[in-house]
Amino acid sequence: MCRTLLVQGWRFLPHSYALVNAFQCLELLRRPALRLFHEDLRFPSTTWQPAKGILEDREEALLEAIEKPPAGSRFDATFRITYPFDLSPVVECKTFVFMTSEHLLVPPADMARDLSFAKLARRFDGVFITPSHWSKTGLLNSGASESQIAVIPHGIDPQAFEISPERRSSARGNAGLEEEFVFLHVGAMTKGKNVGLLLRAFAEIVNRHENARLILKGVDSLYRSDRMLKEVLASLTTRELDAVQSRVTYYGGQFSLSEMSNLYALSDAYVTPYSAEAFNLPALEAAACGLPVICTDGGPTDDFTTDDFALKINASIRPTEFGIELAPDFESLVSQMDHVLTHPAFCDHARERGPEYIRSGFTWSHVVDQLLKVFFQ
């Protein structure tokens, strides 16, 4: 029996929701007993513009060719992945809504029409799809019931993020980084990423290791990451700034998936001292590429990291105006960055075990298997 599924969301945008939607749709198209339809939803900002070239031409053509929902059509299920979160039901159709909670709460500002999530959740006859147990706790704290939530992680494309020793050597050589130890951080440079903490820790690392380099990858087109980074740099002391300014490389433009993979290939370790995340897809991608991952302890990355390839930053819980967040410890961050730089055996071990672990349960094929089980159980 052929099932019909309507996906409502964003395509062709360098935003995590759009990328997750794109990868899931590409995998859904491979399922023979499923007929897929897609409805493009409005971006939350008029400054956001569609962008091509993130995926391969063939993949973007497949996404472009997905059928639009004919007027009056009925579907077996609808999956909505957009922001602000919209719990509007689809007539005579089971509705599934992707939701995240970074601060263990869902404020009214995150909801379409600025409505109370708790009130909407009580009337919602569908299922919330969320990518981590941390995020699930936020939905529960905000009024959802256990039976309404399915935790389904994000995934990776195993071919795109397969880094051979030869490719790694070539990428590092082309970038002139053969003699340097490269830390990488990918994110919007927003407050929850803790880039200021990272830069202060990196200043300490540079004072100990002259060969250390930090690469930061932002998203200028959506978040003006360049502006936020300038503000963070302005907050550093003169000593910290003198230490890091010649050892930090920043990229803010749109990168294709291939270019992002190359960025992972030329790096030695991935570092993410976040305070508020719902999943942290770059950390998953980095692990799939064989990078040791330095990440905050107690958050969503606990769902997909192990001691074989990840070093945890000690963190405490603190209240904020948005809810609850993690407070990674500065000394612990410095210690873990120093450890990964001075223990090449751990890096070699991570290069083997990380990709092995991620490919065993966190590919887009695994993700879609779980989605379809929830959609059509």
Q: Where in the chain is the domain with CATH 3.40.50.2000?
A: 3-155+363-375, 165-359
Percent of the chain with pLDDT over 90: 93
Q: What is the pLDDT of residues 114-150, one digit of tens each?
A: 788 999 999 999 999 999 999 999 999 999 999 999 9
- Give the pLDDT band (50/70/90) at residue 311: very high
Residue 174 has pLDDT above 80, yes or no: yes
Distance of CA 49 to the CA centre of its chain: 20
pLDDT of residue 43: 94
Residue 314 has pLDDT above 80, yes or no: yes
Contact 172, 211 (CB under 8 A): no
Q: What is the pLDDT of residues 246-301, one digit of tens each?
A: 999 999 999 999 999 999 999 999 999 999 999 999 999 999 999 999 999 999 99
End-to-end CA distance of the chain: 14
Give the CATH superfamily of 165-359: Glycogen Phosphorylase B; (3.40.50.2000)
Contact 140, 319 (CB under 8 A): no
pLDDT of residue 1: 78
pLDDT of residue 93: 87
Helix segments in the chain, DSSP class H: 16-28, 57-64, 117-123, 133-142, 165-174, 195-208, 220-223, 225-234, 238-244, 257-265, 281-288, 330-342, 344-359, 364-375
pLDDT of residue 292: 98
pLDDT of residue 258: 94
pLDDT of residue 322: 87
pLDDT of residue 324: 95
- Mean pLDDT over 56-61 rounds to 97
Nearest residue to 186 (alpha-carbon basis) of 215, 163, 213: 215
- Mean pLDDT over 204-227 rounds to 95
Average pLDDT, the chain: 96
Q: What is the pLDDT of residues 34-54, one digit of tens each?
A: 999 999 999 999 999 999 999
Residue 107 has pLDDT above 80, yes or no: yes
The CATH number of domain 3-155+363-375 is 3.30.450.40: no
pLDDT of residue 71: 87
pLDDT of residue 377: 83
